[in-house]
C-alpha cells in the first residue's frame, strides 16, 4: 500500500522513505505550474497513489503520518476530529469571500478527508483554485461508462497538467448489466433518466462519499434557477452521508456558488487552464454522451441535458437536496413550499403581453375566425428554461405591439397541465403556439432556438 501525506519530517527520513519505495514526492512527477507560489517555503507534499480501502469501493481518508527510521517504515495513524460547527454561520461569514478563500478554508479544515468532485466540464476551475492555495488536494470523478471521448481525453490532460491522479469511481457492473439487459441501452429516452443516473452516478457517488468528511462541488446559483438559486458556499449535506455515518456527517462546499458562468470562463482563460474541447462545440453543461447536446441561442445552459424531459427533472440526483418540494394552488396562481410560503414570482410581465386564464385560452382555441393572429407561450414560472427565454419573449411582445399580432401567455402547470397536454400540444415547458387568423388549430413552434429573431421569423412566416 502506498500512502501519501504532508509531512514535516526531516529530509533524511524522507529520502530513506523514498529508497524503501513507500512513497514518492510530487517533485518526481511532471511539475505543475506554480503561478508564482513559493513552494520552497511549504512542507513536503506527498500525494496518494493507491490506498487500501477501509470501506469497500470508498474514497478512503489517507490520514497518516509517515516517518522512516533506519530503513524501517513507521506509520502513525492520525485521528481526525472534526469539531462540531455551525456551518450556517460559516456560510454567512464566507458569503462574500472569493472562491480561492473558500477553497483554502475547505482544504485547511478537512485536509485529506475532503475531495473535489470533477465532472470534466468548467468545474476544472475548482482544481485550479485548489492548486493556487498551495495545499495538497484530492480529486475524484464518476466514470459512468457513457461519457464523450473528449471528456476522457480531458481527464488525461488535467492529470498531466496538474501532476495529479484523479480517483475514478465506477458503477456496479452487475447493476448496469441488469438494467441494460432488462430495459436496453437507451431506456432513459422512454421512462426518464433517474433510474440510469441512480445506477451509474448516484450509487457510485454514495460509495465515494462514505470515505470522506467533506466534498467540494462546482455548483453555481446561475446554473439552474429552479434548483440551485439558493445554494450556500458551505452546508451540511442534506442527502449523503460521510465516513462517520448518519445525518450531518458530511459537509458540502460550493466555492463558486456566487460566481457567474461568464466569470468562471474569464478566470479559466486568464489562468490558461485546459478546458474540455466540447465547450467549443456549443456544449455548456456536460454529462453523459447520450444525454448531453449543445444548446442554441436563447436556451439555458441546463437545457442541453435530458432535453426530452420537463425542466424540474433536470437534476441527476447528485444534488437532489437542492430540489424543494413545491405545490401549486388550485388556481395555478403560485408555486409554494409545503409550508405555504410563496417561492417563485410570475414571469413574462409586460403591458404588451396578455395573460390568459383557462377560459381565455379555451375561447381562443375554439375560434375558427379570429380578428387577429396570436402567439402564446405555455409556461411554468419555476421552469429555468422559461426563465431563460423571458427576455426574448418580452422583447418579441414589444416588437409586435401594434402590428396586428397578439402576444399572450398561459400558465400551464399544476391543475392546468393535463388540459394543456390534451388540447394544446404541451410536451415540456416552454411550448410556444401560433393561432392563425383563419384556422382553429394552433401551430406549434418546432425549434428550441428561442432568441427574438427566431421567434419573429416564425411569426412572420405564418401571419
Residues annotated as catalytic (active site), given as ranges: 383, 386
Phi-psi region of 345 (alpha: psi -120 to 50; beta: other; left: phi over 0): beta
Contact 235, 87 (CB under 8 A): yes
Grid cell of 107 as nine digits: 482544504
Q: Which three cell numbers stand for residue 424?
A: 394544446
**Spatial CA neighbour of 379 closest among 462, 310, 455, 453:** 310
Closest to 104 measured CA to CA, from 233, 244, 272, 258: 233
Check: CB of residue 456 under 8 Å from CB of residue 397. no
Q: Is 193 exposed, middle or buried (0-12, 13-18, 19+ CB in 10 A)?
A: buried
Query: Do you know the residue count of the chain?
Result: 463
For residue 425, give the DSSP letter: -
Please give the DSSP secondary-structure letter assigned to residue 193.
S
Q: Is the preceding peptide bond at 430 cis, omega within 30 degrees of 0?
A: yes
- Bridge partners (DSSP) of residue 408 are 354, 376
Q: What angle do CA 163, 120, 172 make, to 5 degrees?
A: 100
Residue 266 backbone phi and psi in degrees, to 5: -60, -40
Q: In angstroms, what CA-CA distances link 237 with 86, 122, 252, 301, 442?
A: 13, 22, 5, 25, 47
Asked if 215 and 319 touch (Cβ cutoff 8 Å), the reply is no
Nearest to 235 by CA among 108, 86, 114: 86
Query: What Cα–Cα distance (Å) separates residue 419 from each residue in 237, 307, 412, 425, 429?
Result: 39, 22, 8, 9, 14
Q: Are 352 and 426 in contact (CB under 8 A)?
A: no
Q: Which phi and psi angles does 207 have, rounded to 5°?
A: -65, -40
C-alpha angle 258-262-266 in degrees, rounded to nearest 5: 105
Partnered with residue 46 across adjacent β-strands are 25
Amino acid at each position: 500500500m502506498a500512502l501519501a501525506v504532508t509531512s514535516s519530517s526531516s529530509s533524511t527520513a524522507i529520502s530513506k522513505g523514498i529508497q524503501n519505495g513507500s512513497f514518492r514526492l510530487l517533485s518526481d512527477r511532471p511539475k505543475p505550474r506554480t503561478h508564482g507560489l513559493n513552494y520552497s517555503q511549504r512542507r513536503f507534499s506527498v500525494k496518494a497513489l493507491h490506498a487500501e480501502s477501509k470501506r469497500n469501493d470508498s474514497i478512503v481518508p489517507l490520514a497518516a503520518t509517515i516517518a522512516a527510521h533506519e530503513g524501517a517504515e513507521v506509520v502513525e495513524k492520525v485521528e481526525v476530529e472534526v469539531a462540531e460547527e455551525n456551518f450556517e454561520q460559516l456560510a454567512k461569514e464566507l458569503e462574500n469571500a472569493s472562491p480561492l478563500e473558500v477553497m483554502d478554508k475547505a482544504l485547511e479544515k478537512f485536509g485529506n478527508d475532503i475531495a473535489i468532485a470533477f465532472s470534466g466540464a468548467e468545474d476544472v476551475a475548482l482544481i485550479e483554485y485548489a492548486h493556487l492555495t498551495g495545499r495538497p488536494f484530492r480529486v475524484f470523478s464518476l466514470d459512468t461508462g457513457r461519457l464523450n471521448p473528449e471528456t476522457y481525453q480531458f481527464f488525461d490532460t488535467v492529470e498531466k497538467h496538474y501532476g495529479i491522479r484523479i480517483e475514478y469511481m465506477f458503477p456496479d457492473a452487475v447493476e448496469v448489466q441488469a438494467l441494460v439487459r432488462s430495459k436496453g441501452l437507451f431506456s432513459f429516452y422512454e421512462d426518464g433518466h433517474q433510474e440510469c443516473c441512480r445506477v451509474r452516478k448516484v450509487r457510485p457517488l454514495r460509495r465515494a462519499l462514505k470515505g470522506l468528511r467533506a466534498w467540494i462541488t462546482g455548483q453555481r446559483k446561475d446554473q439552474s434557477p429552479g434548483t440551485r438559486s439558493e445554494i450556500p458556499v458551505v452546508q451540511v449535506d442534506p442527502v449523503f452521508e460521510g465516513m462517520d455515518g448518519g445525518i450531518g456527517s458530511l459537509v458540502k462546499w460550493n466555492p463558486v456558488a456566487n460566481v457567474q458562468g461568464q466569470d468562471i470562463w474569464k478566470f479559466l482563460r486568464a489562468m490558461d487552464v485546459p478546458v474540455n474541447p466540447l465547450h467549443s462545440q456549443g456544449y455548456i453543461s456536460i454529462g453523459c454522451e447520450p444525454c448531453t447536446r449543445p444548446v442554441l441561442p436563447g436556451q439555458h445552459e441546463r437545457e442541453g441535458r435530458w432535453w426530452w424531459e420537463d425542466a424540474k427533472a433536470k437534476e441527476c440526483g447528485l444534488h437532489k437536496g437542492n430540489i424543494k418540494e413545491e405545490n401549486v394552488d388550485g388556481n395555478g396562481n403560485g408555486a409554494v413550499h409545503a409550508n405555504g410560503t410563496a417561492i417563485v414570482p410570475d414571469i413574462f410581465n409586460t403591458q404588451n403581453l396578455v395573460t390568459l386564464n383557462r377560459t381565455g385560452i379555451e375561447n381562443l382555441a375554439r375560434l375558427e375566425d379570429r380578428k387577429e393572429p396570436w402567439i402564446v407561450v405555455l409556461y411554468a414560472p419555476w421552469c429555468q428554461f422559461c426563465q431563460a427565454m423571458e427576455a426574448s419573449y418580452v422583447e418579441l411582445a414589444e416588437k409586435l405591439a401594434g402590428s396586428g399580432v397578439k402576444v399572450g401567455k398561459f400558465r400551464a402547470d399544476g391543475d392546468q397541465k393535463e388540459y394543456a397536454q390534451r388540447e394544446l400540444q404541451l410536451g415540456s415547458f416552454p411550448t410556444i403556439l401560433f393561432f392563425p387568423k383563419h384556422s382553429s388549430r394552433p401551430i406549434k413552434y418546432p425549434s428550441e432556438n428561442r432568441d427574438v429573431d427566431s421567434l419573429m421569423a416564425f411569426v412572420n412566416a405564418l401571419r
